[in-house]
Structure 1
Amino acid sequence: MTGIDPAVRHLTRTAAQMRKKKPMRIMLLAHSYWPEHSPPQRRWTTLIREFRKAGWDIDVVTPVAHFPQGRRRLPRSEAGTPFRGQRGPFGERIKRVPYLRHSGNRHAARLVDQVFSAAMSIPTALMWRKADVVIATAPSLPILVAGYLVARLRGVPLVVEMRDAWPDLARDARLVKGQVKSVVERVVEAIQRRADLVVTVTDGFAQTLRARGVKNVVTVTNGLDLEAVQLLEAPPAERDKLEVLYLGNHGESQRLDVIVKASALVGGDLMHLHMVGHGTRRPDLLKLAGALNAPVTFHPPLYGADLIARYRSADTCVVSLRDDWKSFETTIPSKTYEVLAIGRHMTAIVRGEAARIVTEAGGGDVVAWKPEAVAELWAELARDRGRLTAGLSGRDWVKANADFRQLAVQYMGHLSDLVVAGRSRP
């Protein structure tokens, strides 16, 4: 294996060792999965692909595909049918549960839908074959309760995956108030303490949980399938306007009014902002852009070749999280890894662990969460386009730290250790 990167050599050796171990059967409870396009789908579709390569059996309990519109838009052959079996793209078995139709833009309606689907997941999972371990993935909090009950009734280990900083995020967002707030926090924290393993996606939140007395906590970060993400050529050295791209959720967590206001401050002579995606705040952002006469164009969600074309046309890509929610100090937007991997400059309106990664990877500029600060950066980039050449440093950082092939091997190691330890107990 002379000439092969040591990290790749180690990954290949570790993956081979995982395949030699006794294959395991995993049951995953998730509120969103293939063929939807969502954060849990992107993470788990790739992880399951690697699990299946190791010979593991995977059972997924998830609602009929209805994200993000709150209703089924795909054919039943793809979206699934309630209580009917379905094969996933890598041979995993999927059992769909029903959902409640809603508009997709109201927090209360989404919560009621998640509670209903989580409740339906319990009997569905219990009637299925017994797994070696049950994994419940947040941020859908009701699915954590369902996962806890299924694991305990089946007498198998429970893995709670916290892809967001719950319940801290609920407290910051004030999603629940009064006595209900304390009940939600207590339930989530109780499940975290009783889980056999808690998986976080950031080191910072793992430390927070350990400080609260949660004992068995590991970090398996978010990432991407690096082989499936192409490195784009650098943007043009000369261009009339700075082309700025935001791609992702238009919600409370991002507070995208900041970048709309920043674009209005810079003006249409120097820049143009493209905003791709959907979310609860999108109607308000459309009104704001119109009121300010901001140089903004709104686009629907894009996938595949359309997404790559939009990335290719951009000079800098925005990654944004509001800075007045303390939980975001230990949160890393998943788009961070994608922008680093494609080789685009990043306008990083983040702090804490996310800001550290952008700086460490040399992926762009970290800027304060103020329209004036963002506008000043964009005006500088428009005048000095040499700063837009990101190079290979970001992609190299992803290869070393956030390639899902490596992350899947880490995850399988943690799950194997957990099951072996459980079997050795009297």
Structure 2
Amino acid sequence: MHILFLTDNFPPEVNAPASRTFEHCQEWVKAGHQVTVITCAPNFPAGKLFDGYKNWLYARETMTGINVVRVWSYISANEGFLRRTLDYVSFMFSAIPASLAVKRPDVVIATSPQFFTACAGYVVSRLRRIPFIFELRDLWPESIRAVGAMKGARLLSALEALELFLYRKAAMIVPVTHSFKANLERRGIDPSKLHVVTNGVDLDRFAPLEKDDELLEQLGLRGKFVAGYIGTHGLAHALDTLLETAVLLRDEGRTDIHFLFLGGGAAKAALREKAAALKLDTVTFVESVPKSQVVRYWSLLDASIIHLRKTDLFTTVIPSKLFESMAMGIPVLLGVRGESAEIVKKQQAGLTFEPENAEELRSHLVHLAENDEFRARLRGNAIEGAKEYDRKYLADQMLRLIKNLYTAKE
């Protein structure tokens, strides 16, 4: 079977969509299938080309057996609604003709969060007369409304109409959470074509490690209790809450608890400026690092902070970094309500707190820092719980769904 996958994020980018797509496709190749990924030149989140890449009209490479086609797109940083939309739309228009140059695929998969990629998937499915699978990573444009990135009610309504059109035209939809599935069912989408495949983690890469001694020295973290946020610094993440927590701890003399921020995004510069203005010596910012280096920074953490803005939409979200943290054996402090909080509670892998509640986060950090035995128990629970989200198993689960669809359409 030849699987064509459209995504605007792919390694060497290290965000969640890039990792999920790469790890799934890699497993499908190992299972004996041909996989072609159409993507753009790597530039997320800073909007700058990665070393060794050019924004060409069309370029090819092979990554662990995956045929990768990179097409031109309008490159912008992950900030500013208009420029980001131009980025998304340009990829859509480049991906469609590139798909026609690919040896005939049997199915086409397009992944969100933004659904202009899904628009391309639908068009390609019609032109190539093959089934279209919509991998649903985010309820876009509902997430735009949640973070206030766009105010025009008419435009949002038009985008939601397009969203529903794509759901109806997809032969299969693969939501990454059960909450997304329930949302689509409430909106009249046929439940028989909705199949949840959650996010997960590569257990071969993310596993418990001793703290990286070189990085401890380099970052001045030796002897500190390190609470870290690893991932995109976006509008949705409301990371000001972590800085507010750092202020509370500093003001009560808890300089032993240090905050580490790793990653980039639309809010990164403002967070740096705010931390500097507040004279927060207990906060360190690190720019995005290559995928191969991320686990070194995970190893430094005594607690992983995962946080999203306080809004009903994000009760449906399960941040993929939750599973990476669990696999590394790092207790989770989760400021996200809903399905992800249920996972943390079920696995007893950490503590939950109300989103945007700096005082509650402060209390949990102090409790973890002062209770080694409790922290060790959470660590063991996290490692055991991560086994339920093994990416290899989840990739196989999705492959079975694709095979069933392909067989039924023959």
Same-fold call, TM cutoff 0.5: yes
* SS of the residue 2:229 aligns to: strand
The SS at the match of 1:208 is helix
Pairing partner for 2:235 from 233, 243, 252: 252
Match of 2:135 in 1: 161
1 CA distance for matches of 2:395 and 2:364? 37
Residue 183 in structure 1 maps to residue 144 in structure 2: no
Whole-Å separation in 2 of the counterparts to 1:73 and 1:409: 31
Distance 1:31 1:205 in 2: 21
1:265 aligned to 2:248? yes
Secondary structure (helix, strand or coil) at the match of 2:392 reads helix
1:213-260 alpha-carbon deviations (Å, 9 max, x no partner): 21110001111111222223599xxx9643211111111111000011
Offset, 1:373: 1.2
The equivalent of 2:383 in structure 1 is 395
Q: Does 1:174 align with 2:157?
A: no
One-letter amino acid of the structure 2 residue matched with residue 274 of structure 1: L
Q: Does 1:316 align with 2:290?
A: no
Trace 1:307-386 onto structure 2 (pairs within 5 A): 307-324=294-311, 326-369=312-355, 370-386=357-373
Contact 1:234–1:344 (CA under 8 A) maintained in structure 2: no
Secondary structure of the corresponding residue to residue 72 of structure 1:
coil
Q: Give the structure 2 partner of residue 289 of structure 1.
A: 275
Per the alignment, in what secondary structure is the counterpart of residue 332 of structure 1? coil
> Mean Cα displacement is larger for which, 189-198 or 278-287?
278-287
| Alignment partners' CA distance in 1, 2:198 and 2:304 | 21
* 2:5 match: secondary structure: strand
Contact 2:12-2:290 at 8 Å conserved across structures: no
Q: Which amino acid aligns with 1:257?
A: D
Relative to structure 1, the CA distance from residue 207 to residue 258 in structure 2 (aligned partners, 3 Å threshold; closer, same or farther) is same
The answer to whether the 8 Å contact 2:14/2:291 transfers is: no
Alpha-carbon distance between aligned partners in 2 of 1:80 and 1:93, rounded to the nearest angstrom: 18
> Quick one: distance in 2 between partners of 1:343 and 1:101?
36
Tell me if the contact between 2:349 and 2:381 (Cα under 8 Å) persists in the aligned partners.
yes
Tell me the CA shift for residue 305 of structure 1: 6.5
Classify 1:356/1:234 alpha carbon distance in 2 versus 1 (closer, same or farther; 3 Å): farther
2: distance between equivalents of 1:128 and 1:411? 22
Assess if the C-alpha contact under 8 Å between 1:32 and 1:41 holds in 2.
yes
2:80 aligned with 1:106, yes or no? Answer: yes
1:193 and 1:213 in contact (8 A); partners too? no
Determine whether 1:65 maps to 2:38.
Answer: no
Root mean square deviation of aligned Cα: 2.0
Higher mean C-alpha deviation, range 409-418 or range 34-43: 34-43
CA drift of 1:208 comes to: 1.2
Alignment deviations for residues 113-139 of structure 1 (CA, whole Å, 9 cap, x no partner): 110111111111123222111101001
**Structure 2, unpaired ranges of 5+:** 213-221
Q: Work out whether 1:27 is the aligned partner of 2:4.
A: yes
8 Å contact from structure 1 (residues 134, 158) kept in 2: yes
The structure-2 alpha-carbon separation of the partners of 1:299 and 1:39, relative to structure 1 and needing over 3 Å to count, comes to: same
- Secondary structure in 2 matching 1:351: coil
Q: CA deviation at 1:73?
A: 2.7
Change (3 A) 1:243 1:96: closer
Between the two proteins, what is the percent identity of the paired residues? 29
Deviations along 1:374-407, whole A, 9 cap, x unmatched? 112222333333332233222222212x111111
| 3-state SS of paired residue (1:172) | helix
Contact 1:29 1:62 in 2 (8 A): yes
- Aligned mates of 1:301, 1:379 — CA distance in 2: 28
The equivalent residue for 2:205 is: 228
Q: Check 1:225–1:383 CA distance in 2 against 1; reply closer, same or farther (3 A cut).
A: closer
1:80, distance to aligned residue in structure 2 (A): 7.4
Contact 1:261–1:292 under 8 Å retained in 2:
no
Q: How many angstroms apart in 2 are the aligned matches of 1:333 and 1:255?
A: 14
Q: Shift in Å at residue 306 of structure 1? A: 4.6
Q: Provide the secondary structure at the position in 2 that maps to 1:96.
A: strand
Are residue 152 (structure 1) and residue 126 (structure 2) matched?
Answer: yes
The unaligned stretches of length 5 or more in structure 1 are 1-23
- The code of the aligned residue for 2:168 comes to R
Per the normalisation by structure 2, the TM-score is 0.90
Distance 1:206 1:302 in 2: 33
The aligned amino acid for 1:372 is E
